[in-house]
């Protein structure tokens, strides 16, 4: 199977900011040419950069006089850097690549704020410096999916695609074009979705497809044909398709196993959607991440009570959509599969 190798882009322009003890809340102002922006790009809680849509490498220096612990999210609640502890008086450098687009979250959602917005979090955030540079040749991981994958706009919801970026290092960006409520039928039919995403696929890009939750009335022949259409369209652009079977729903039998129909995505017509996706992957020689099997094993191991924290049962009595914690756990399963199948190099993945 072809390896997915990162290519470093030529840096054409740079935006650099260094934080000191005194921070200003003045919003960033664009300056002509490559002259660095000043301290006005950041406050004690975040940074804003007036940059156009594109892909950007972000390098941060973390730490301060006191012990610190910093996490970074950006745009529509995307987790970009996991919480990182730094001892008092020390500094740590971390880097990641971020996709800036309009709309910045779900493709059918609101435009969001222009430019790049980063939010500082963690138990004791401390940002000593930050640089943002265009990443013209960064490799993309494009996501096509539904509400269990998408950049959810509001808490407590989170899709696993929203949490995936924190597991990736500089050189790989996640462009999440998953959208709530979509099936294979609606994703292909909506010009804001497939017709918009396909032209963005570049040679060497990975395109992960997880569509099934909303194919409740899609017959087997149509579901199979739709997946084959997506695979062919990705390959037409030089991308590498990866089929991802859907995450399970939290519906248990009395014996502690998951329900064979509702939980395991057998639709109203009796179509075993994950099984069809496995068949298409085998027939089309497409890499498969069997997230249905992986999440089934995990959820059943946690049991009826322990699995509540993965989903939004406690908050919304919701057994389909995931909490931030659950989405992060499921994103970790995707990361592990990408590395195990040599779809991304191990050196570009965070394991902690």
Burial class (CB in 10 A: 0-12, 13-18, 19+), 322: buried
Per-residue pLDDT of the chain (352 residues), as tens digits, is 434 343 333 333 333 333 433 333 333 444 344 444 445 689 999 999 999 999 999 999 999 999 999 999 999 999 999 999 999 999 999 999 999 999 999 999 999 999 999 999 999 999 999 999 999 889 999 999 999 999 999 999 999 999 999 999 999 999 999 999 999 999 999 999 999 999 999 999 999 999 999 999 999 999 999 999 999 999 999 999 999 999 999 999 999 999 999 999 999 999 999 999 999 999 999 999 999 999 999 999 999 999 999 999 999 999 999 999 999 999 999 999 999 999 999 999 998 6
Residue that terminates a domain, selected from 83, 104, 134: 134
For 138, counting Cβ atoms within 10 Å of its Cβ (0-12 exposed, 13-18 middle, 19+ buried), the class is buried
Are residues 273 and 293 part of one domain? Answer: yes
Q: 94 is in which domain, residue-wise?
A: 15-134
> What CATH number does residue 102 fall under?
2.60.120
Same domain, 223 and 265: yes
Q: Is residue 81 part of a domain?
A: yes
Q: Are residues 126 and 163 in the same domain?
A: no
Asked if 190 and 155 touch (Cβ cutoff 8 Å), the reply is: no
Same domain for 226 and 299, yes or no, is yes
7, part of any domain: no
Lookup: tokens for 200: 């963005």
Say if residue 306 is in the same domain as residue 320: yes
**Helix-helix angle 324-340:291-306, to 10 degrees:** 150
Q: Where is the domain boundary, 88, 109, 134?
A: 134
Residue 310, helix vs strand vs coil: coil
């Amino acid at each position: 199977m072809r390896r997915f190798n990162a290519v470093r882009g030529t840096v054409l322009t740079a935006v650099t900011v260094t934080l000191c003890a005194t921070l200003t809340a003045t919003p960033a102002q664009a300056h002509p040419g490559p002259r660095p922006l000043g301290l006005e790009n950041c406050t004690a809680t975040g940074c804003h950069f007036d940059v156009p849509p594109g892909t950007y490498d972000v390098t941060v220096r973390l730490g301060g006089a006191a012990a610190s612990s910093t996490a970074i999210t950006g745009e529509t609640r995307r987790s970009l850097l996991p919480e990182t502890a730094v001892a008092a008086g020390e500094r740590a450098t971390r880097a990641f690549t971020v996709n800036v687009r309009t709309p910045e979250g779900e493709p059918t959602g609101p435009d969001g704020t222009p430019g790049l917005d980063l939010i500082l979090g963690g138990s004791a955030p401390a940002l000593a410096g930050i640089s943002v540079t265009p990443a013209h040749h960064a490799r993309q991981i494009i996501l096509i999916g539904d509400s269990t994958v998408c950049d959810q706009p509001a808490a407590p919801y989170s899709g696993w695609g929203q949490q995936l970026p924190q597991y990736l290092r500089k050189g790989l960006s996640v462009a999440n074009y998953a959208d709530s409520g979509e099936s294979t039928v609606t994703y292909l039919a909506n010009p804001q979705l497939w017709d918009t995403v396909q032209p963005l696929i570049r040679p060497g890009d990975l395109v992960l497809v997880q569509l099934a939750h909303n194919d409740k009335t899609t017959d087997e022949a149509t579901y199979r044909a739709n997946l084959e259409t997506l695979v062919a369209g990705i390959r037409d652009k030089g991308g590498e398709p990866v089929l991802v079977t859907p995450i399970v729903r939290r519906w248990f039998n009395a014996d502690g196993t998951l329900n064979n129909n509702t939980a395991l995505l057998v639709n109203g017509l009796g179509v075993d959607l994950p099984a069809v996706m496995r068949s298409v992957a085998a027939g089309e020689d497409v890499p498969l991440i069997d997230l249905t099997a992986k999440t089934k094993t995990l959820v059943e191991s946690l049991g009826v009570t322990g699995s509540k924290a993965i989903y939004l049962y406690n908050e919304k009595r919701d057994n389909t959509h995931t909490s931030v914690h659950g989405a992060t756990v499921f994103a970790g399963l995707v990361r592990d599969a990408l590395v195990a199948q040599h779809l991304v190099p191990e050196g570009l993945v965070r394991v902690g």
